[in-house]
């Protein structure tokens, strides 16, 4: 079974800082990797999707990278804002229908 | 409505009661997934539909859990004889293509189930 780990579990930074969230997975045979944010009491909002053949994806202040061979992905958030406060989850997809999620990183951006 | 919707948003059930959770995926999305998210954990896969066919139910925790999508759009997750360990948020997601495709998943807001 694919194991997905996210480090750190919680992170608190002052507004304006750049930060990196980490996601690691044990089986490199993946189709894609998706980053989500989850606000308290709400569902998941898709942020970025990286296909297995890609190295990175960018959207606004967010940049996600993928290194399949080492089983790692990072989510880089530039110039963090209080509105970025949420839990960030990564999910990897193996063959078939199975998506495996990490336990998330809880981010707090302090004004 | 452009997104995935779920109802009810909150459900309190007495132990032993049956419950039914509804998911309305994005129109035209072929794939539909159900997940269970315990407090402080990431979502865990329950089952997958491609149109009306349930192709994978390997994540359903027991035979008390049953899901259907009879017309290939709306799906219902039913839990019979609920137990306290069933308390969780149940998330539904849809995706445009088949699971063998490479598209992103779009999630609904979830149903928070509390079994007393």
pLDDT tens digits along A9-28? 999 999 999 999 999 999 88
Q: How far is Cα of residue A40 from the mean position of the Cα atoms in its chain?
A: 17
> Can you say whether residue B30 is alpha, beta or left, with left for phi > 0 and alpha for psi between -120 and 50 degrees?
alpha
Considering only CB atoms, B108 lies closest to which of A43, A46, A104, namely A43
CA distance A104 to chain B (A): 6
Predicted confidence (pLDDT) at residue A95 exceeds the cutoff of 80: no
> Can you say whether residue B40 is alpha, beta or left, with left for phi > 0 and alpha for psi between -120 and 50 degrees?
left
Residue B1 is predicted with a pLDDT of: 52
- B25 close contact with A: CB closer than 8 A: no
Predicted confidence (pLDDT) at residue A52 exceeds the cutoff of 60: yes
With beta carbons under 8 A apart, name residues in chain A contacting B44.
Answer: 101
Residue A29 is predicted with a pLDDT of: 86
**C-alpha span between B116 and B113 (Å, rounded):** 10
With beta carbons under 8 A apart, name residues in chain B contacting A96.
Answer: 56, 99-100
- B104 close contact with A: CB closer than 8 A: yes
CA distance B108 to chain A (A): 6
Residue B76 is predicted with a pLDDT of: 98
The mean pLDDT of A54-82, rounded to a whole number, is: 96
- A92 close contact with B: CB closer than 8 A: no
From the list B92, B111, B108, the residue with the least C-alpha distance to B1 is B108
Per-residue pLDDT tens digits for B67-115: 999 999 999 999 999 999 999 999 999 988 765 555 778 899 999 999 9
Per-residue pLDDT tens digits for B22-66: 999 999 999 999 999 998 889 999 999 999 999 999 999 999 999
CA distance B58 to chain A (A): 9
The mean pLDDT of A72-79, rounded to a whole number, is: 97
């Amino acid at each position: 079974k694919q194991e997905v780990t996210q480090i750190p579990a919680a992170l608190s930074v002052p507004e304006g800082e750049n930060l990196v969230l980490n996601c690691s997975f044990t089986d490199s045979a993946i189709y894609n990797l998706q980053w989500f944010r989850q606000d308290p009491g709400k569902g998941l909002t898709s942020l970025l999707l990286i296909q297995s053949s890609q190295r990175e994806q960018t959207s606004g202040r967010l940049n996600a990278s993928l290194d399949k061979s080492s089983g790692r992905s990072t989510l880089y958030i530039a110039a963090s804002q209080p509105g970025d406060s949420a839990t960030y989850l990564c999910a990897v997809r193996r063959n078939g229908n199975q998506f495996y999620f990490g336990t998330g990183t809880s981010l707090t951006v302090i004004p | 409505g452009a997104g995935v919707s779920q109802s009810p948003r909150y459900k309190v059930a007495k132990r032993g009661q049956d419950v039914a959770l509804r998911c309305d995926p994005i129109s035209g999305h072929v794939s539909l997934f159900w997940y269970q998210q315990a407090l402080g954990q990431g979502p865990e896969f329950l089952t997958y539909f491609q149109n009306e066919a349930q192709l994978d139910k390997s994540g359903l925790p027991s035979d008390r859990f049953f899901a259907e999508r009879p017309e290939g759009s709306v799906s219902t997750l039913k839990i019979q004889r609920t137990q306290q360990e069933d308390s969780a948020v149940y998330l539904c997601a849809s995706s445009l293509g088949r699971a063998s495709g490479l598209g992103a998943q779009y999630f609904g807001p979830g149903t928070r189930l509390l079994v007393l």
